[in-house]
Chains A and B, each alone.
Chain A
Amino acid sequence: MIFQGLNIAATSLKTQQTAMDVLSHNIANVNTPGYSRQTPNLVTAQPEFVNGITLGRGVDVGSVSRSLDPFISQLMANNQAQSGYWDTTSHYLQSIESVFGTLDTAGLNSALDSFFASWQQLSNNPSGLAERLSVNSSAQALGSHLSSMSVQLKQAQAQVDLDITQALADANSILDQIASLNGRIAGDSTVGAASNDLLDQRDQLVQQLNRILPVQNVNASGGQFILQSSDGALLVQGVEVNHLVGQGVPGFALQSIAVEGSGLLALKAGEGSLSALLDMRDTKLQGYNDQLDQLASNLAFSVNSIHASGAGNVQSHVFSSTGSTPAPTMLLSDPNQTIPFAGQIVNGSFNIHVVDAAGVPVNAGGTPITVDPALMSLNDIAIAISAVPGVTAQIDGAGHLVIDGGANSIAFSGDNSNFLAAVGINTFFSGQSAADIAVNPEVIGDPNRIATGAIDIATSTVDPGDNSVASAIFRLQSSAMTLTGSGAMTLSERSEKLLVGYGNETAVAMQQQTFITSQSESLASRRDAVSGVNVDEEMIKMIEYQRAYQASAKVIQTTNQMLDSLMGLLG
């Protein structure tokens, strides 16, 4: 019996020691992210029935459980998904802030205002060289600004594309780690041990994964761990993993995301950094670029439409189109036509005026050239122009229309077909998008070619003081326009819409980020309240286990003395 007392004290020593091990593990992991405080559950040892009475046989550590609130874990998972989305969105929108400028820097609006102000000044002095140079430089500055914005946005898109690839790699790596942990947890469970640390690690990985794309944990029969995407695609089942893959289309490395064996993944809007990256690349950045392109194309075409029917200070002998056709005999209305604004060409005509070296009109009143885009090609137009005495027209090797008057000068008027503006004859701008809009090289080379007045039908010349064309271009500043037939607005309104749209989206993203971060902090605090390690509490428990250990050691010492007494009696 006396030895039973020793055994009971021994169980206590061993149990208190084990409890100290758990406590020590808690303190060691006080700063480990995702660690759940573990508690040794002490239970009495199996009692024995001796001499008609049931006697206890000491204490044992029944299990070590972790303190966890699954509800808070689920809330944190949802929060991580939103946090991933808004952190990513806010980060990228703020990173492109320099593209749109500030009040202190000369931005797109300032460049547009300067452009139209220069046309106003030219209108007030059409023959002034300084005013013409000013129009050239302000137009080049505006073109450079648009081009620079477009390039920066496209670079941002390319960067987001790379980040999507990285996010997929990160997600797949996490999935592999989860599957590996599933195997180890299942192995430990078969021998009866609860792998609290492995469970914590897996929970932490699931939280990380939620940040990339929202997932849901399904508890299958047999305790198997199943992870699904929010639209039900299977990602992990036990040790089996279905990776995320990207499916590419021209223009971008990845267009859409799919799950191996399940097809396309429907990403939940507003959750996960992957959803944010795709939204950033395909909606926001692409949207900004599209708006810039619309502004550039409306600017180029509207200015060119007026400019093409005007004339400058100097008699011009040769005109070469800025646009080109892939095939001279291709119809103007052909869907494969590469002439920049071919879609804007309508049935109509324009007049061509030819004046000889002595200033006498060769074709008094001008010759109308009929345009029918459904029936005519660029070559047909060239043939029609060549039929006018004193001028020849042909398509050069690069597909450009070249009109040559030789010793005669040429001018144009009354284009109601949009042909001249579309193909780029006597135009101010070349290009049709933010990336390629530029001042016509012919105008840069000779500012006197900037058209400021309209041709007099009788004399086929333009008065140097005639500012009708320059004035009309200046007044485009307050003209609502559209190339697509809907959504007409002024160029300034387009620019403002782009800037304010970006501003609103960024402000919303930042506000949401602040709110979600605050929510994250609150949830983290609540999790800490349940699962965190309070060092002071562990210290007190340490004292308890220490005292129990000391008491049990005292029992052993006393029992030993009792044995000595007994042995003394026998000796």
Chain B
Amino acid sequence: MQITSAQSLNHLLSGIQKQLHNQLQGNEQVASGKRFLRPSDAPSDFQKSISLRRALSSLQTGQQSIETGKARLQSSMDAVGQMQNVLNRAQVVALQMANATASASERSAAAVEMENLKHSLLNLANTTWQGDSLFAGTATKTQAFILDVNGHAVYQGAVQDRVIDVSSTIRLTSNVRGDEAAFSLAFSALENLQAALQNNDMAAIQAGVDETTQAASAMADMNAKLGALHNVFEIHLTVFQESDLMLQQRLNKHEQANLPEVITQLEQSSITLQALYSQVSRFQQLSLVNFL
């Protein structure tokens, strides 16, 4: 079988092409830091990458959603805490006025304070956060409570809760509504106490003490409920943050090129390429034509 110079040169050229291709791939990996960039580089790895990135994106928007829910609940807890203070003050006034030593004029003055306390409670019940009513359910642009013609606080919010979409499968409640028993007990207690003090009715004042105690207890329970809801968000946040970290590590491990290995391969390819170039340059010397 004869060997022609064209065969040898074509072999060398083919080798050069292969090594140049290896150089190109290696340089791309070094520049991007990734094992693959395009769907055609590694189709199934690319798909896994997209899934991991989507999951990461969901975790990150989920964390933002959780922070929104937490902030809303925290504002609610602050407002309810202050409502507890109002009720505590009302309790103190009621106890003082329940004493037989208090005069009618003192009770009359206490009735005025009770009116002010009721208005404070009303303002707190109508607290807004980022322009939305905290305790009106989904009727966020409506005041949760108004006073009717008789001066009684009436709930005018919605019966739906505000729900946060933490993920496509997790929805968490992020509020308490004004139609909870704690609110009606609180308003009722203050209104009744106010009437009792105005009427100088000892028995009613005594009953008012019990009512305010009951209302304060209900308010504390509601605050505990808010705390529990807040905890749920906290737990989810912790899980999301841990998952975020793990996924980031998995994604990096999955996508990152093994740079020492790539650089070693580039070096080897470079040496082979140099050898090929050297062979091509020597080739023209190896011909009978040069000796005739």
Q: Are B168 and A474 in contact (CB under 8 A)?
A: yes
Closest to A507 in B: B40
Closest to B61 in A: A117
Choose among A31, A93, A103, A533 the residue that contacts B49 (Cβ–Cβ < 8 A): A103
Q: Are A120 and B165 in contact (CB under 8 A)?
A: yes
Choose among A124, A471, A496, A524 the residue that contacts B47 (Cβ–Cβ < 8 A): A496
Binary interface profile of B, 19-47, with partner A (CB < 8 Å = 1, else 0)? Answer: 00000000000001010111111111011
The answer to whether A567 has its CB under 8 Å from any CB of chain B is: no
Residues of A within 8 A of B160 (CB): 463, 465-466
The answer to whether A231 has its CB under 8 Å from any CB of chain B is: no
Q: Are B163 and A464 in contact (CB under 8 A)?
A: no
Residues of A within 8 A of B288 (CB): 535-536, 539-540
The answer to whether B203 has its CB under 8 Å from any CB of chain A is: no
Choose among B46, B64, B136, B287 the residue that contacts A535 (Cβ–Cβ < 8 A): B287
Binary interface profile of B, 248-288, with partner A (CB < 8 Å = 1, else 0)? Answer: 00000001000000000000000000000000000000011
The answer to whether B74 has its CB under 8 Å from any CB of chain A is: no
Residues of A within 8 A of B131 (CB): 127
* Docked pose: A294 CA to B83 CA in angstroms: 55
* Docked pose: A529 CA to B2 CA in angstroms: 5
Most buried by B among A102, A103, A536: A103
* Docked pose: A104 CA to B1 CA in angstroms: 52
* Docked pose: A262 CA to B286 CA in angstroms: 55
* Docked pose: A145 CA to B58 CA in angstroms: 21
* Docked pose: A453 CA to B65 CA in angstroms: 18
Closest to B13 in A: A521
Choose among A464, A475, A530, A536 the residue that contacts B165 (Cβ–Cβ < 8 A): A475
Residues of B within 8 A of A467 (CB): 138, 162-163, 165
Q: Are B51 and A97 in contact (CB under 8 A)?
A: no
Within 8 A of B (CB), among A524-538: 524-525, 528-530, 532-537
Stretch from A13-21, A77-85, A481-489, A497-505 contacting the other chain: A497-505
The answer to whether B206 has its CB under 8 Å from any CB of chain A is: no
Q: Are A528 and B38 in contact (CB under 8 A)?
A: no
The answer to whether B130 has its CB under 8 Å from any CB of chain A is: yes
The answer to whether B289 has its CB under 8 Å from any CB of chain A is: yes
The answer to whether B4 has its CB under 8 Å from any CB of chain A is: yes
The answer to whether B139 has its CB under 8 Å from any CB of chain A is: yes
Binary interface profile of B, 45-62, with partner A (CB < 8 Å = 1, else 0)? Answer: 011011101100110010
Residues of B within 8 A of A121 (CB): 61, 64-65
The answer to whether A510 has its CB under 8 Å from any CB of chain B is: yes
Q: Are A500 and B163 in contact (CB under 8 A)?
A: no
Q: Are B14 and A521 in contact (CB under 8 A)?
A: yes
Residues of B within 8 A of A507 (CB): 40-43
Q: Are B165 and A465 in contact (CB under 8 A)?
A: no
Known: A465-B139, A507-B43. A539 touches B130 (CB 8 A): no
B35 to chain A, nearest CB (A): 10
Known: A103-B34, A499-B47, A525-B10. A453 touches B138 (CB 8 A): yes
B259 to chain A, nearest CB (A): 17
Closest to A529 in B: B1
Residues of B within 8 A of A30 (CB): 5-6
Known: A475-B165, A529-B4. A102 touches B158 (CB 8 A): no
B222 to chain A, nearest CB (A): 19
Residues of B within 8 A of A500 (CB): 39, 43-44, 46-47
Q: Are B165 and A124 in contact (CB under 8 A)?
A: yes
Known: A492-B54, A534-B2. A104 touches B171 (CB 8 A): no
Q: Are B137 and A94 in contact (CB under 8 A)?
A: no
The answer to whether A100 has its CB under 8 Å from any CB of chain B is: yes
* Docked pose: A120 CA to B63 CA in angstroms: 12
Question: Dominant SS at the B interface?
Answer: mixed
* Docked pose: A536 CA to B57 CA in angstroms: 68
The answer to whether A367 has its CB under 8 Å from any CB of chain B is: no
Q: Are A465 and B158 in contact (CB under 8 A)?
A: yes
A151 to chain B, nearest CB (A): 20
Residues of A within 8 A of B168 (CB): 474-475, 477-478
Residues of B within 8 A of A530 (CB): 1-2
* Docked pose: A524 CA to B138 CA in angstroms: 78
B243 to chain A, nearest CB (A): 16
* Docked pose: A168 CA to B164 CA in angstroms: 62
* Docked pose: A467 CA to B263 CA in angstroms: 53
The answer to whether B140 has its CB under 8 Å from any CB of chain A is: yes
Q: Are A474 and B165 in contact (CB under 8 A)?
A: yes
* Docked pose: A100 CA to B1 CA in angstroms: 49
A476 to chain B, nearest CB (A): 8
The answer to whether A430 has its CB under 8 Å from any CB of chain B is: no
* Docked pose: A176 CA to B58 CA in angstroms: 63
Known: A127-B141, A521-B10, A533-B4. A463 touches B39 (CB 8 A): no
Residues of B within 8 A of A94 (CB): 40
* Docked pose: A539 CA to B34 CA in angstroms: 54
Binary interface profile of A, 96-124, with partner B (CB < 8 Å = 1, else 0)? Answer: 01001011100001100100010011011
Known: A499-B46, A506-B39, A528-B4. A471 touches B165 (CB 8 A): yes
The answer to whether A392 has its CB under 8 Å from any CB of chain B is: no
Binary interface profile of B, 70-102, with partner A (CB < 8 Å = 1, else 0)? Answer: 000000000000000000000000000000000
The answer to whether B169 has its CB under 8 Å from any CB of chain A is: yes
Residues of A within 8 A of B42 (CB): 503, 507
Within 8 A of B (CB), among A108-149: 109-110, 113, 117, 120-121, 123-125, 127
Most buried by B among A102, A109, A465, A474: A465
Q: Are A466 and B138 in contact (CB under 8 A)?
A: yes
Residues of B within 8 A of A453 (CB): 138
Binary interface profile of B, 117-140, with partner A (CB < 8 Å = 1, else 0)? Answer: 000000000000011100011111
Residues of B within 8 A of A464 (CB): 132, 138-141
Residues of A within 8 A of B10 (CB): 521, 524-525, 528
A490 to chain B, nearest CB (A): 10
Residues of A within 8 A of B43 (CB): 500, 503-504, 507
Closest to A470 in B: B165
Residues of B within 8 A of A110 (CB): 53
Q: Are B68 and A125 in contact (CB under 8 A)?
A: yes
The answer to whether B3 has its CB under 8 Å from any CB of chain A is: yes
Known: A121-B61, A535-B5, A535-B288. A103 touches B137 (CB 8 A): no
Most buried by A among B2, B36, B58, B65: B2
Closest to A119 in B: B165
* Docked pose: A25 CA to B144 CA in angstroms: 104
Residues of B within 8 A of A103 (CB): 32, 34, 36-38, 46, 49, 255
Q: Are B38 and A102 in contact (CB under 8 A)?
A: yes
The answer to whether B225 has its CB under 8 Å from any CB of chain A is: no
A8 to chain B, nearest CB (A): 29
Within 8 A of B (CB), among A447-487: 453, 463-467, 471, 474-475, 477-478
Closest to A67 in B: B2
Closest to A466 in B: B138
Residues of B within 8 A of A524 (CB): 10
Residues of B within 8 A of A532 (CB): 2, 4, 6-7
Q: Are A463 and B44 in contact (CB under 8 A)?
A: no
A120 to chain B, nearest CB (A): 5
Closest to B69 in A: A124
Please name 6 pairs of A and B residues whose Cβ atoms are closer than 8 Å in the assembled complex, sorted by A. A113-B57, A121-B65, A467-B162, A506-B38, A521-B14, A534-B2
Known interface pairs A120-B65, A466-B158, A503-B43; 11 further A-B residue pairs with C-beta atoms within 8 A, sorted by A's residue number: A31-B6, A93-B40, A97-B38, A124-B165, A463-B158, A474-B165, A503-B39, A503-B40, A506-B40, A529-B4, A535-B288
The 8 A-B residue pairs with the shortest CB-CB distance, nearest first, are: A503-B39, A506-B40, A503-B43, A465-B140, A465-B138, A532-B4, A463-B138, A478-B168
